Structure 1
Amino acid sequence: MEQTSSIQRRIVPLLVAIGFLIAGAIGGMAGFSLAGERGAGTSAVSSPIAAPAEVQALPVAEMQATTVAGQVYQRYGEAVVDVIARTSDSFFDRHGAGTGVVIDQRGLIVTAAHVVEGTSTVEIRFATGERVSSRVLGTDEANDIALLRVDRLPAGVPVAVLGDSDRVQVGDVVVAIGSPFGLSGTVTQGIVSAVNRSWNPPGGRLRTGLIQTDAPINPGNSGGPLFDARGEVIGITIMIESPIRGNVGIGFAVPSNTVKRVLPQLEQGAQLEPAWLGISGTDLDVEQARRFGLSVDRGVIVLSVVPGSPAARAGLRPAQASGLDIAQLGDVIVAIDGQPVVGMQELAARIGAHQPGDTVELTVLRDGREQTVRVTLGRWPK
């Protein structure tokens, strides 16, 4: 939804851009049709069988741990919906499927932006099987979040609570509910395996600030909630890392506090886009600083500048490479808007607070001297 030599790490290009764009590895837009309604299922009744004497009952604490997913599902399972998006061209109708979660009694539903991208019709299917049309109020492509609204909620549908993702810790139990491969109402449980995770998907952009989990997430889970043990939504699942287009234990979610931050804009109809700087770079470290006689040992070495990009128009200078190594430095970005930058992660996150058209001031080391370069950020190329 990894180990390289120190030299290789220095030249791995990471495109600096705002936000967290659509990851093709997981997707609500995967083209899976939803295969069935969410229902109560069936149960088998069997005669009681005496347990062997050596079998002991689980301690109460363990019993409670094993029922976290069940407790969350019983309380908020019906707040989770199927999002069915249809697009049409001159020849074909296509549809994709993802997941969403009801967050407001007024009919507001959060899902992933890539689930509804380019759609002409969005249909919501509730746990009861009832289907209603919805409107896309706003989207945030940078964080891969969309806000939908239905005119009414079916009777009895609960409203999920957006929790405080800043309180999330590694090892916390989490529960994902969604429609992987069209299997509505699927519940999986795991733990938070990392917080504030940065990840650069193949062919994509560097994303920062993500919650990583080993709770099984698959295509169709996109846009669904990641609950904590209290039943609060602490993230919206958006992507996985996998070589096989299926779960291998590494999934990512946008933190709930990020969602809460953009919701007011989305409700007003905002179509937020990721901005683009147009460089690739690598972290400056102590070894490189000594080698090139720099006065600082933290920052971003500019490795390449995309022709025609905002960085190119601003005159940023890339390093010159010799084989797999850097032969001569170009610009080293050490601050943005007067605040120091430690490395690529921080640079991407700090630019992530901006929109296309915003102007930022980059402090760079050029030929051993500090200079200020003003850059007007552009839109990330489609």
Structure 2
Amino acid sequence: MDVSRAPARARARTPRLLLPLTASVCAAALAGGCSSGGAATAPERSTQAAAPLSSNQLQDDYQAVIRNVLPSVVQIDASASLGSGVVYDDKGHVVTNAHVIGQEKTFKVAAATGGQAVTARLVSSYPEQDLAVIKLESLPQGLKAAKFGDSSGVDMGQIVLAMGSPLGLSGSVTQGIVSATGRTVSEGQTGGGTGATIANMVQTSAAINPGNSGGALVNLDSQVIGIPTLAATDPELGGGSAPGIGFAIPASMVRTIADQIIKDGKVTDSGRAALNITGRTVLDDNYNPAGVAVVEAPADGAAGKAGLKPGDVITRLGDTDITTITSLAEALASMNPGDKVTTTYVRGTKTQKTEITLGEM
């Protein structure tokens, strides 16, 4: 999936994706009720009476989730950008997107529920997964750690709320459903994007606008199931947004990365497969992407051990055709370190194959 800072690709056409950093404000309204003209039978009246009760119950559920989770959401001012974060523990650690904090080391952080901003400092950033952890110098009163849910239990059709600070509107909440799971998305590097390829993302119809990045995607059990990161744009609409297509990093990956950063100050085990090469996209005679040229392949890396050398052009990985660096990253995102994969490459004028035991990013 090709993403230029937010997610999505349709089968017939490929929208580019932009990371939400600055954009227009979006609001979601909830309404419920039922009306009918003319006479009604007793069963019909019973159905009409039940509908508002159901609607009121859903509204109560929404409001309960907001009361439970909003005190765990913060606004992060990184001077060059504005985004959101989620309080990870009672020690003041906050998890957010790497693209929100950029290259800065100190930040002003304010609770979504209001109050004085406090200073936070960078613990570590992991751009490869677009995640980062910062730590508050003091924990504002009323702020509390969020509860993270089980990503394996996330399924299509679940109602979710997205909480954050779109355009600096602190404490904003939008509503939608889980549209899909298991998406692999590649974000661009323009406009502050990290260029990361992220697997197993949660797709949602809840509005995710610039400033929502790093916030909370929450289920009706008041559990954070993902960190909103990307919103889709469609080049056929002049780069305008593609409403209802947003992506969040799953809670399981957030916990994996955040726990390592908090414990060791860095990511020590990414769990992500790699060829351990430096490569670049090459074009054919018609200027179409035609593969990934190996620029460097250290002898102790996965590709180097399998015999690949600088100048080789990778054209296929397993059953997937490789035309660009992005397509190679997306293919690797669905694999694990230690997997064995047949790789097709061109050396000079000869096409060859070799089996590579994948390394780790």
Q: CA deviation at 1:53?
A: 8.9
Cα distance in 1 for residues equivalent to 2:90 and 2:184:
34
SS of residue paired to 1:215 = coil
Match of 1:196 among 160, 182, 199: 182
SS of residue paired to 2:104 = coil
Q: Which residue of 2 aligns with 1:60?
A: 53
The answer on 1:151 being equivalent to 2:161 is: no
Cα distance in 2 for residues equivalent to 1:333 and 1:109:
39
Q: Which residue of 2 aligns with 1:371?
A: 354
The answer on 1:118 being equivalent to 2:103 is: yes
Q: Which residue of 2 aligns with 1:298?
A: none
The answer on 1:223 being equivalent to 2:214 is: yes
Cα distance in 1 for residues equivalent to 2:153 and 2:356:
37
Aligned residues of 2:107 and 2:120 also touching (Cα < 8 A): yes
The answer on 1:73 being equivalent to 2:56 is: no
TM-score (normalizing by structure 2) = 0.68
TM-score (normalizing by structure 1) = 0.65
Q: CA deviation at 1:361?
A: 6.2
The answer on 1:131 being equivalent to 2:117 is: yes
Q: CA deviation at 1:106?
A: 0.9
Aligned residues of 2:280 and 2:295 also touching (Cα < 8 A): no
Q: Which residue of 2 aligns with 1:105?
A: 90
Cα distance in 2 for residues equivalent to 1:68 and 1:246:
30
Q: CA deviation at 1:220?
A: 0.4
Match of 2:245 among 243, 250, 273: 250
Cα distance in 1 for residues equivalent to 2:329 and 2:66:
39
Matching residue's letter, 2:150:
D
Question: Where is the helix percentage greater, Structure 1 or Structure 2?
Answer: 2
Cα distance in 2 for residues equivalent to 1:68 and 1:190:
14
Name the CA shift for 1:200/1:151 in 2 (closer, same or farther; >3 Å). Answer: closer
Q: CA deviation at 1:104?
A: 0.9
Unaligned runs of 5+ in 2: 1-5, 25-34, 39-44, 190-194, 283-288, 298-302, 321-327
- Cα deviation code 1:72-107 (max 9, x no counterpart): 111221211100003xxxxxxxx2100011121111
Match of 1:260 among 255, 272, 282: 255
Cα distance in 2 for residues equivalent to 1:304 and 1:52:
62
Aligned residues of 1:135 and 1:150 also touching (Cα < 8 A): yes
SS of residue paired to 2:255 = helix
Q: How does 1:252-291 map to 2 (within 5 A)?
A: 252-267=247-262, 268-270=264-266, 277=277, 278=279
- Cα deviation code 1:36-55 (max 9, x no counterpart): xxxxxxxxxxxxxxx99989
Name the CA shift for 1:131/1:269 in 2 (closer, same or farther; >3 Å). Answer: same
Q: How does 1:300-379 map to 2 (within 5 A)?
A: 303-310=290-297, 314-315=308-309, 317-318=312-313, 333=318, 345=330, 347-350=332-335, 362-364=341-343, 371-373=354-356
Q: CA deviation at 1:212?
A: 0.3
Matching residue's letter, 1:162:
F
Matching residue's letter, 2:154:
V
Match of 1:236 among 227, 231, 237: 227
The answer on 1:177 being equivalent to 2:177 is: no
Q: How does 1:209-220 map to 2 (within 5 A)?
A: 209-220=200-211
Q: CA deviation at 1:150?
A: 1.0
Cα distance in 2 for residues equivalent to 1:27 and 1:101:
16
> Could you say what the CA RMSD is over the residues aligned between the two structures, in angstroms?
3.9
Name the CA shift for 1:360/1:279 in 2 (closer, same or farther; >3 Å). Answer: farther
Name the CA shift for 1:317/1:225 in 2 (closer, same or farther; >3 Å). Answer: same
Unaligned runs of 5+ in 1: 10-22, 33-50, 87-94, 282-301, 320-329, 336-342, 354-358
Matching residue's letter, 2:103:
G
Cα distance in 2 for residues equivalent to 1:184 and 1:261:
27
Aligned residues of 2:110 and 2:116 also touching (Cα < 8 A): yes
Name the CA shift for 1:64/1:332 in 2 (closer, same or farther; >3 Å). Answer: same
The percentage of counterpart residues that share the same residue type is 29
Cα distance in 2 for residues equivalent to 1:52 and 1:209:
44
SS of residue paired to 1:138 = strand
Q: CA deviation at 1:314?
A: 2.2
Cα distance in 2 for residues equivalent to 1:205 and 1:111:
15
Matching residue's letter, 1:248:
P
Name the CA shift for 1:376/1:193 in 2 (closer, same or farther; >3 Å). Answer: closer
Aligned residues of 1:314 and 1:373 also touching (Cα < 8 A): no
Name the CA shift for 1:375/1:75 in 2 (closer, same or farther; >3 Å). Answer: closer
